Amino acid sequence: MTSRSSELFAAAQERIPGGVNSPVRAFRHVGAQPFFVERARGAKIWDVDGNEYIDYIGSWGPAILGHTPKVIVDAVREAAARGLSFGIPNPLEVEMANLICAWMPSIEKVRMVNSGTEATMACVRLARGFTGRDKIIKFDGCYHGHVDALLVRSGSGALTHGRPDSAGVPQAFVDLTISLPFNDADVVRKCFAQNKGQIAAIIVEPVPANAGLYFANHDFLLTLREECTKNGALLIFDEVVTGFRAARGGAQEIYGVKPDLTALGKIIGGGLPVGAFGGRSEVMDQLSPDGPVYQAGTLSGNPLAMTAGLAQLHELERIDGWKLLERLGAHFEKLTRDAIAQAQIDITFHRIGSMFCLFFASGPIVDLADAQRSNLETFSKFFRGCLKRGVYFAPSQFETGFISTAHTREDIERTGAVMRESLSVL
């Protein structure tokens, strides 16, 4: 019998390119077709055919409290009754700005946008306007949204589908973007030496989470800070994924490195589309209407997104969510490592707080080249095995998994059993 998801996917392909509105959702990397979600609550999702799954994507990160938490749903319902969008300043924008600046001390001023891509795009434009320079350094495998200048050896869906670059990006844009190996401090120093007075900024995911999940070597991020300061360039942290998830103050709190600009998204929207970017006042003051760098957005700071984000952030603080997430993450890690040990397959497990990844490759994995050693066929079999048994991981080797405060110990125990069973038949 044809499932309802199959019918919907066939219909979607008639009207939506590839049948999906974001490439990684297509499931092509795992040799399957996507299912369609009917509803979600807590750590669970249910598809249109009635199947239940424990979800470790959480809308790709924003659902840190789980799906449809009452505190957010109630707040959004109340806000919606007052108005969906004004295109006029509203008090919630000021409250969100104050909270972000208080929790991330590197941010003195912040502007709201509608996506992480918008945030990184604005950071790059602002850095160029502030420095009067054109070239940008990024790192292989780091994904900063589908910005033309940053789709050079990127991660996320571009990497999953075998296209680390994109058609439609002019060569002139690519010529201004220098992509370097992550974790190689020497090559960063050499790059500045070879491009004296030309580098506007370095943009980096302080915890790369779009080519799997791997971590900066000792002092790598500090070296980036030092080189930017020495050479008059700005350091941009893309914390769209890690902001308010890796820690209350993001990855910059964990590593103790202060960027000049930070891009945010996901968590600060509580499940609604949102982004933000902020940093030093002297840099942010270059934005219009005060400065010459133009940036605008009709729905930026809209009351629904601000309400959802504020409700989520305040609830996280109330329940000390980061401590809870670390406990859940540690338990998940123990069960995962036990399953890996029993399977006797080359798998490298990485975790930071509530973020994790299983690389189907031997370690160490510290950059994109290491991540690309992963056995994609084995990952695909593992993914399908877990899905069949009711556990939903990202349909790509090169994505990060997320735990929410709604995951129970029983959910994680069940997941551990499913991983053991799925690995045992590989």
- Tokens in use for 369? 């080249």
Are 241 and 184 in a shared domain? Answer: yes
Question: Is 165 an active-site residue?
Answer: no
- Tens digits of per-residue pLDDT, 65-116? 999 999 999 999 999 999 999 999 999 999 999 999 999 999 999 999 999 9
- Tens digits of per-residue pLDDT, 299-322? 999 999 999 999 999 999 999 999
Question: Is 238 an active-site residue?
Answer: yes
Among residues 266, 367, 370, 381, the one annotated as catalytic is 266
Are 172 and 308 in a shared domain? Answer: yes
pLDDT of 160 strictly over 60: no
Q: What pTM was computed for the model? A: 0.96
- Tokens in use for 371? 């991540």
Are 312 and 326 in a shared domain? Answer: no
| Confidence at residue 117, expressed as pLDDT on a 0 to 100 scale | 95
| Long-range Cβ contact pairs of 224-230 (< 8 A, separation 24 or more) | 224/185, 224/188, 224/257, 225/257, 225/258, 225/259, 227/188, 227/189, 227/192, 227/202, 228/201, 228/202, 228/260, 230/192
pLDDT of 164 strictly over 70: no
The CATH number of whichever domain residue 395 belongs to comes to 3.90.1150.10
pLDDT of 398 strictly over 90: yes
Among residues 238, 260, 367, 370, the one annotated as catalytic is 238
Domain boundary among 317, 344, 360: 317
Domain boundary among 298, 317, 336: 317
Please give the tally of structural domains in the chain: 2
Are 121 and 262 in a shared domain? Answer: yes
Domain region containing 377 = 4-68+320-424
Among residues 53, 56, 143, 255, the one annotated as catalytic is 143
Are 280 and 258 in a shared domain? Answer: yes
| Confidence at residue 161, expressed as pLDDT on a 0 to 100 scale | 42
Are 368 and 255 in a shared domain? Answer: no
Higher-scoring residue by pLDDT: 158, 403: 403
The CATH number of whichever domain residue 129 belongs to comes to 3.40.640.10
Nearest residue to 331 (alpha-carbon basis) of 250, 424, 409, 248: 409
Are 213 and 273 in a shared domain? Answer: yes
Are 159 and 266 in a shared domain? Answer: yes
Are 335 and 309 in a shared domain? Answer: no
| Confidence at residue 165, expressed as pLDDT on a 0 to 100 scale | 63
- Interior angle at CA 127, CA 231 and CA 210, nearest 5: 95
Are 102 and 176 in a shared domain? Answer: yes
Are 278 and 213 in a shared domain? Answer: yes
Are 233 and 118 in a shared domain? Answer: yes
Average pLDDT, the chain: 95
Question: Is 143 an active-site residue?
Answer: yes
Domain boundary among 317, 333, 353: 317
